[in-house]
Amino acid sequence: MIQAFGLTSNPRKGLPLAADDVSFEARAGRVTALLGAPGAGKTTVLRLMLELQQGRGITYFRGRPLHRIAHPSREVGVLLGDVPGHPARTVRGHLRMLCAAAGVPARRADEVLEAVGLVSLRDERLGTLSRGMDRRLGLACVLLADPHTLVLDDPADGLSVRESHWLHGMLRAHAAQGGTVLFTTDDPKEAARTADCVVTLEQGRLVADQDVAEFSRTRLRPRVAVRSPHAARLAVLVAKQARTARRSVEVVREGGNRLSVYGGTCAEIGETAFRHGIVVHQLADEIGDMGPGAGATQAGEPQISRDPAPGTAGQTAGDSHRAADTVRTSDDMLGHVGFEPECAGSGPGHVTDAHRTTVAPQTANGEPRPSLGAPQPAPATAEALAAGAEPRPPAEPRPAVDAPEPVADEPLSPDGPAQPAATPHERPVVPSAGHLSSAESRPEETTAPLASHRAGARTVRTLDALPPLPPPISVRPAPSPLRPLRYEIRRAAGIGTGFLTGAAVLAVSAVTAVVLARIGHTPQPRLLAAWPQELPLPPAALGAGLLGALAFGDEFRHPALAADRGTVPRRLGLLAAKLLVATATALVLAALTVGCDAEVLYLVYGRELAQVPADWLSMSAGWIGLVVGCAWAGVLAAGVFRSTTAGLAAVAAVPVLVVPAVHKVLEGPSVRTAAGLPMRLREALLPRWPFGGERYLEAALSVISQPVGGALTLSLTALLCAYLLTALRSRFR
């Protein structure tokens, strides 16, 4: 089950709070609808519950807050908006990638595809799915880890009636198996059809928390919608027939040729129109929405207001004196439960306008019931009324905070206990139906000691008497995938971008090698790498850097891993997996580039240019180090700056900016230079390596000693430190 306490968003300058002290409960085995008009704060409440937005409050999922759950995706399935997946990825590939992230077997993807009816579309690309298929895929992503709780933000938005029925049937089936379902909607009819409990929000505040039967009784009302060119005449005839039969029927003129008949049936209205020769263009049963405030009063009572206006058109002379109290209908009705002649005093068959202010059912003694929150006049005695005394003015509303118990030696006034004076720091809380305000509803909440002092006959509170604020909500990053290496392999191989990039690199390298061989003046090692003297990096190094940048760049553009948690996490496990996959990709690209260039040179110019160099070991080490270093630079830069373009720019900046900067530093004025340092290092270190290991170390030192190699090593060190700094900062903030 879900228990939300005091969810409050951070204040916005010049704007009301998007969520203001929202508390409710969604029980297991039931479907709960969070209802509200657009802008009522439904999405904000969900984001506060899921710790995606800063604010105050706390939410328990089966007794634990979300940040205390080891694997949140296995406890809470979340769908906010559309499915955040790469448009070129297939449906099955996307789900299998998420299986690796959630730590569930890959066969689970086929199971949920069959459950949501997408087996026939498993090879379709995400970018080609319709709205209904996208909603099905989103539900499949939510059900992938078999969570107990489902939280969905307007899941039926934009769906057809058939797709909506299917979706709500799936949610009902999940609840029937003991799960908890919470979804948002702005349609009260949809909430009444599909939910077991309806929580209503209005302007960020909770106004009602009701069972669906109570919600339908207080918020929705059946009616017959009628369209006729003779609507006024038909309204009078229907009302007259109702008075004759002594039945409770209300006819509402909604402007033009439209009528809404409450308490009647399509058959009765159709027969009346047929007998009197009235043309009817529409005759249908509907459910009328009575507004967001309906049912928000205490004990489910409707809101009431008095309108002393004279009778409306269409009433008889005998009924005109009773037209002051009418029942509000149509879309602006608030809280009317059912029309009875004894309640309204207007008799059966009453005709009203659609925009009349109304009075709802009266109390048991026949007096009108006042609306919630309105000032209540004190009852006047018979003697006072006989003497012509003025009624007592309405009392000031009491603050919601309970007053301290009176001191034993303090005399009580005849009007009751003294009221505390409101301080500027206190904010009264208005209780509403369904609001959790009991001591049991807020666990681990302590009551502050009340410090008060006597001030005449009133008790004044100090700041110590204020109730404790809900705990702050901190936004936490998404957890890293449980199987990061498998996740990264499926992510990289699930789209064709990497394969197309590799093919383009091989083609450009082969053409460049042939052109350089034809021109001449290019050494054979650089010829095999297709590396012109004028270019800072060969095509293979740039391609490896681009593939490395895509590893994190696509993650931030299409955050499938962090669909419900915001940004992609900067975790060392995910970084290690990406670096490992980028290394393997760079090694394959480097080997294929040299092989393709040598084969093309052999076919075009013969064996002379395709021979293996004598010092192939050190050259291979330098070539592999350059390509792998560019791939790592792309991964780290894209992870730090969250952009593929930034990753590729960091790769290109190594020879363009870092190498000249290093040269400038080394060539600056100095008293002594480190001339001969590589030779002395070789004499000091290399003889101590057994089994010929000095050759490999010498190759590595020769790569680092080159200008590009040294600049690349410096750039990698800086990027790695920046990545570790951002990762640690996001973890400990």
Helix (H, G, I), strand (E, B) or coil at 695: helix
Distance CA 472, CA 10 (A): 10
Alpha-carbon span 43 to 54, nearest angstrom: 13
Does 547 reside within a domain? yes
Q: How far does CA 84 lie from the centroid of its chain?
A: 12
Among 101, 133, 7, 129, which Cα is nearest to 58's? 7
Tell me how far the alpha carbon of residue 140 is from its chain's centroid. 17
Look at residue 305 and tell me whether its pLDDT is greater than 70: no
Residue 475 lies in a domain: no
Of the three residues 335, 353, 371, the one that is the final residue of a domain is 353
Q: CB–CB of 509/44 below 8 Å?
A: no
Tell me: pLDDT of 149 over 60. yes
Query: Which neighbouring-strand residues pair with 28?
Result: none
The answer to whether residues 187 and 244 belong to one domain is no
In this structure, are 188 and 300 located in the same domain?
no
Statement to judge: residues 296 and 247 lie in one domain? yes
Q: Which amino acid is at 580?
A: L
Euclidean distance between CA atoms 33 and 24, whole angstroms: 11
Residues 255 and 150 in one domain: no
Q: CA–CA separation, 152 vs 154, rounded Å?
A: 6
Indicate if 196 and 229 belong to the same structural domain: no
pLDDT tier for residue 291 given thresholds of 50, 70 and 90: low
Is the domain of 163 the same as that of 235? no
DSSP 434: T
Query: Could you tell me if residue 478 is inside a domain?
Result: no
Nearest-angstrom CA–CA distance, 27 and 42: 18
> How does pLDDT run across 332-365, given as a tens digit for each residue?
333 333 333 333 334 455 555 443 333 333 433 4
Among 203, 233, 265, the domain boundary falls at: 203
Q: Domain range holding 228? A: 220-353
The answer to whether residue 344 sits within a structural domain is yes
Residues facing residue 460 across a β-bridge: 421, 453
Please name the residue that has the structure tokens 């069959």: 114
Structural contact between residues 647 and 733, judged by C-beta atoms closer than 8 angstroms = no
Q: How many CB atoms lie within 10 A of CB 566?
A: 17
Task: Write the CA distances from 22 to 64, 184, 206, 436, integer angstroms.
Answer: 18, 14, 6, 9
Residue 278 and residue 326 share a domain: yes
* Residue 194 sits in the same domain as residue 325: no
Q: Is 399 inside any structural domain? A: no
What pLDDT is stored for residue 697 in this prediction? 59
Boundary (domain end) residue, out of 353, 385, 408: 353
| Domain CATH number, residue 72 | 3.40.50.300
CA distance readout (Å), 109 to 80, 81, 91, 102, 560: 20, 21, 9, 11, 15
Q: State how far the Cα of 283 lies from the Cα of 280, in Å rounded to an integer.
A: 7
128/93 same-domain check: yes
Q: Do 172 and 34 fall into the same domain?
A: yes
562 inside domain: yes
DSSP 8-state assignment for residue 611? S
The pLDDT tens digits of the residues spanning 110-148 come to: 999 999 999 999 999 999 999 999 999 999 999 999 999
Q: Give the confidence band of 397 by pLDDT, cuts at 50, 70, 90.
A: very low
pLDDT of residue 134: 92
Q: What is the DSSP string of 504-520?
A: HHHHHHHHHHHHHHHH-
Residue-wise pLDDT tens digits, 31-87: 999 999 999 999 999 999 999 989 999 999 999 999 899 888 899 999 988 888 899
Q: How far apart are CA 285 and CA 267, in angstroms?
A: 11
Q: Which residue has the higher pLDDT, 712 or 538?
A: 538
Yes or no: say if 234 and 273 are a contact pair by the CB < 8 Å rule. yes
Alpha-carbon distance 688 to 176, whole Å?
72
**CA dist 260 → 33, 192, 217, 227 (Å):** 28, 21, 18, 9
Strand partners, 220: 289
Same domain, 621 and 506: yes
**Is residue 180 a part of any domain in this protein?**
yes
Cα torsion 538, 539, 541, 542: sign: positive
pLDDT tens for each residue of 316-334: 333 333 333 333 333 333 3
Residues 6 or more apart whose CB falls under 8 angstroms from that of 718 comprise: none
Lowest mean pLDDT among 459-468, 474-483, 589-598: 459-468
pTM beyond 0.75: the answer is: no
Residues 164 and 247 in one domain: no
pLDDT in tens, 412-458: 333 444 443 333 333 333 333 333 333 333 333 333 333 333 333 34
Q: Report the number of distinct structural domains present in the chain.
A: 3
pLDDT digits (tens, 9 = 90+) for 160-170: 999 999 999 99
Say how far apart CA 196 and CA 453 lie, in whole Å: 48
What value does the mean pLDDT take over residues 228-243? Answer: 91
590, 627 in Cβ contact below 8 A? yes
Distance CA 530, CA 522 (A): 10
Q: Is the dihedral of CA 304, 310, 316, 318 positive or negative?
A: positive
User: Is the per-residue pLDDT at 2 higher than 70?
Assistant: yes
The answer as to whether 449 is a domain residue is no
Angle in degrees, CA 163, 166, 170, rounded to 5: 140
355 secondary structure, DSSP code: T
